[in-house]
Amino acid sequence: MPVDTTVALTGVDLAIANGEPMASILANFPLSEFYGKSYQGGLIFYVDSLNATGLVAIQDVNNDDPQMNWWYTQGAHLQGFSCSVGAGQNNTNIIVNTQGVGDYAAYYCDTLSFAGHSDWFMPSIDELSLMYSQIGQQTNANFQLAGYMSTNRDSVLVNTSPTAYQFTEIGIHFDHGGPMSFTVYVVSSNFFQSPGYVRPVRQFN
């Protein structure tokens, strides 16, 4: 007789498969058992146990995260960003509302429809950091060993006399977890930027 290789679901996986409410599942299992579990279109990398919500990142089963530009409209004035967990959605809205329709990372996330969900967004830097720490080394997450972009920017000193700063878009390198910057510069009125990978996320309830 053929050997049955089906793996029986247990623990959090079984509770999710049975459709149990997240609040109920959280009451019965430690948080450490949730990270990397498939749920509502992606892999869990953050859990707010108090409100039974959290964040999932798309599970890239085809190992083909898009590599895209952060900017679409040169010189667009952007403000109001936050780096914190929970800020990615608002940051994405700011970028898209300012830059409009185009081929760039935030717009890709904002307009994505995947696994029955259309409320994806580009993560903040703190959300991206959690993504790396909780599921970045997980085999089935299929991250590229390269730089992933967040919705955030940082100021970099580019001149000391007079003092001048320039904003650079920031992210995390998923090979070692170190910070990344995606440089934007202008040469002879031509606009250049370094593309990076993007992994859309969404909040589950």
Top-confidence residue, 178 or 161: 178
pLDDT value of residue 159:
62
pLDDT for 12-30, tens place per residue? 999 999 999 999 999 999 9
Neighbours of 181 (CB within 10 A): 16
pLDDT for 85-101, tens place per residue? 999 999 999 999 999 99
What mean pLDDT do residues 43-56 have? 96
Q: Is 43 in contact with 56 (CB distance < 8 Å)?
A: yes
- Distances, alpha carbon 109 to alpha carbons 14, 25, 132, 144, 182, in Å: 30, 29, 18, 18, 18
Residue type, 204: F
pLDDT for 128-145, tens place per residue? 999 999 999 998 899 999
Q: What is the mean pLDDT of the chain?
A: 88
Q: How confident is the model at residue 193 (pLDDT cuts 50, 70, 90)?
A: confident
- Distances, alpha carbon 19 to alpha carbons 25, 41, 51, in Å: 10, 14, 18
pLDDT value of residue 26:
95
Classify residue 10 as left (phi > 0), alpha (psi -120 to 50) or beta.
Answer: beta
Q: How confident is the model at residue 194 (pLDDT cuts 50, 70, 90)?
A: confident
